[in-house]
Amino acid sequence: MDRRSFLQTTALGSLGAAALDPSDLPSGAEPNTPDNRPNVLVILADDMGFSDLGCYGSTVDTPNIDRLAEEGMRFSQMYNAARCTPTRGSLMTGLHPHQAGMGHMRADLEISAYRGHLNNQCVTMAEVLKDAGYNTLMSGKWHLGKEHAHWPNARGFDVYSGLLDGASDYFNPPPNRTLVRKNAPFAPKSIAHFESEENILSDFYMTDFFTDEAIDQLRQQGGGKEPFFQYLAYTAPHWPLQARAEDIEKYRGQFMEGWDQIRHRRYERLVDAGLIDEAWALPERDDRVLPWRDTDNKERWDLKMAAYAAQIDRMDQGIGRVLDTLEEMGERKNTLVLFLADNGAAAVRLRGDDARPGSPESYMSYHRPWAHVSDTPFRRYKIWTHEGGISTPFVANWPGEIDPGSLSHEASHVIDIMPTVLDATGASYPDTYDGRDILPVEGKSLLPVLAGGDREGHEALYWTHTDNHAIQRGRWKLVSPDGRETWQLYDMKNDRTETTDLADERPALVTDLAEQHQAWSDRVGVLSWSEYRKRRQAIRSN
């Protein structure tokens, strides 16, 4: 029996069992020893909408991610936690954000659910895999604690290079943004931290820096007997719009037909690809977005979207370089690659300045009209718990283990990634770590799905961020954008695009789901948004 058949017929999907024992394997199966355990590469994009990849309906050039999809599996219903920091906390721990200390962003309320850094009740994927004998590597945006005690190398990563903060200038990061290179503070264009001038990065661009460091890590530590886990977390395409000129020029004029036409075409491609149901209506244009025909400065709007596309394009180029490196090392076939985004597109409006969009001198966003396109076919954006805020493209690639070109409609959540990785590697989730009791993992492994089978899914999925709340149980999703003052009810089977609110027709179901969401909120330590702000103000005042 080969490993793929073994994975399809065993109970690896139920996390909690100890790491595989050779005596438990069927006759003829290879033991999951350090010599044949898979490498793992998790790639995270930042503020990217559901339909921004070529393989999810876009015309943005993403051949390398598209190739991962063509040779692997796309998911149509993978969810994140609506915003960067909460999603990253869940990704690293398999817990809901509040359980990991990331109930909001970086403010520390001195209570477990709102520490602004990973708390002591969780264990990271890197910590577990490091204890299992993996080399643990990270390049990119961390955003899970800026104090040295909370850096990635303090949470299980052998080596880290990247950005500890959130948004940053891509060409010239300001002094209040902390860059790290090989576990030490780093300043671009400065020799202060290096022994020789050959280490100076005079042509700094954030996306390329992350890619270069990831490749260097692989070459330095990824080619030994021990398998590796690498986490590559890009800031692209998070604002500010800043991209290399040659990448922007590639897209100039491609968006002059306007957001209305482009959004409809993406919708049609998603239907044709089988990623969405044609019965789900494309919602009307956001009422805060003008029709393209009534919009002034069309060339400038085109340039903004060209810069945004260029940011994604450069990220994809970097992913291609990483994959080529794995191929050169002979590790590509034994590497599980997972790609997703941390939240939906950002509708934030940065007025910036009059500089050319995308240039190093500019600092602006592409704004709500283009974010509306990025989140096609869904409503709302980053921070909201409507589908536009929490839906992410998700691509899984594992040569020989996942059927090429496969598609899954399994309702999945970012909390599922850690148990999936642990199942694939044979590592076990601990009850205690470093003398601390650890909360049980909340996610469920997707390994049976990747192997072409089924799994026992979640009884319900939950979200809370700021004043936005949601629960999905089976076909029903209850969502509130105003602190539970009102609830909206949607039938995800017939209307995942959330066009028809059924709350008035099913009041008993609304009450039932709302009570279930409140019970979950109480269990994981959610504060009301008003209470959160009150506590934060009190801490600031002291």
Give the residue from 417, 351, 330 showing the smallest Cα distance to 80. Answer: 417
Contacts of 340 (CB under 8 A, 6+ apart): 43, 44, 45, 78, 80, 392, 393, 394, 395, 414, 417
Q: List the structure tokens of 138.
A: 């990270």
Total-model pTM: 0.93
Under 8 Å between Cβ of 227 and 135: yes
Q: List the structure tokens of 409.
A: 């409609």
Q: What are phi and psi of 22, to 5 degrees?
A: -55, -30
Q: Is cis: bond before 360, omega within 30 of 0?
A: no
The pLDDT assigned to 189 comes to 65
Under 8 Å between Cβ of 255 and 297: no
Cβ atoms within 10 Å of 330's Cβ, excluding its own: 9
Ranges of the chain whose pLDDT falls below 50: 1-2, 4, 6, 8-34, 190-201
Question: What whole-number distance in Å separates Cα of residue 524 and Cα of residue 90?
Answer: 13
The pLDDT assigned to 16 comes to 38
The pLDDT assigned to 263 comes to 98
* Digit-coded pLDDT (tens) for 422-463: 999 999 999 999 999 999 999 999 999 999 999 999 999 999
Give the N- to C-terminal CA distance of the chain in Å, as an integer: 64
Q: List the structure tokens of 265.
A: 């075409």
Give the residue from 456, 455, 460 showing the smallest Cα distance to 470. Answer: 460
Three-class SS of residue 212? Answer: helix
The pLDDT assigned to 35 comes to 57
CA angle, 432 as apex, 148 and 34 as ends, to 5°? 85
Number of helical (H) and strand (E) elements in the chain, helices listed first: 14, 17
Q: List the structure tokens of 25.
A: 């394997």
Question: What whole-number distance in Å separates Cα of residue 424 and Cα of residue 398?
Answer: 10
The pLDDT assigned to 484 comes to 85
CA angle, 289 as apex, 287 and 292 as ends, to 5°? 130
Question: What whole-number distance in Å separates Cα of residue 127 and Cα of residue 157?
Answer: 7
Question: What whole-number distance in Å separates Cα of residue 334 and Cα of residue 257?
Answer: 43
Contacts of 196 (CB under 8 A, 6+ apart): none
Question: What whole-number distance in Å separates Cα of residue 37 and Cα of residue 392?
Answer: 28
Task: Return the percent helix, strand and coil in the chain, to nearest 5.
Answer: 35, 15, 50
SS3 letters across 317-340: HHHHHHHHHHHHHCCHHHEEEEEE
CA angle, 456 as apex, 455 and 460 as ends, to 5°? 130
Question: What whole-number distance in Å separates Cα of residue 494 and Cα of residue 471?
Answer: 17
Q: Exactly one of 117, 143, 458, 469 is catalytic; which is it?
A: 143
Which residues is 40 bridged to in the sheet? 229, 336
Element (H, E) at 302: helix 298-329
* Digit-coded pLDDT (tens) for 70-95: 999 999 999 999 999 999 999 999 99
User: Tokens 């979950």 label which residue?
Assistant: 520
* Digit-coded pLDDT (tens) for 208-239: 999 999 999 999 986 678 999 999 999 999 99
Under 8 Å between Cβ of 122 and 90: no
The full DSSP string for 370-405 is HHHHHTTT----TT--SHHHHEEEEEEE-TTTS-TT
Instruction: Give whole-number Cα distances, 252 to 52, 298, 309, in Å.
Output: 17, 12, 10
Q: Is cis: bond before 237, omega within 30 of 0?
A: yes
Question: Tell me, what DSSP letter sits at residue 426?
Answer: T
84 catalytically annotated: yes
CA angle, 323 as apex, 142 and 128 as ends, to 5°? 45
Under 8 Å between Cβ of 243 and 316: no
Q: Which ranges in 49-136 belong to alpha helices (H)?
A: 63-70, 84-93, 125-131
Torsion of CA 18, 22, 26, 31, to 10 degrees: 100
Question: What whole-number distance in Å separates Cα of residue 232 and Cα of residue 208?
Answer: 12
User: Tokens 């650890």 label which residue?
Assistant: 438
The pLDDT assigned to 541 comes to 87
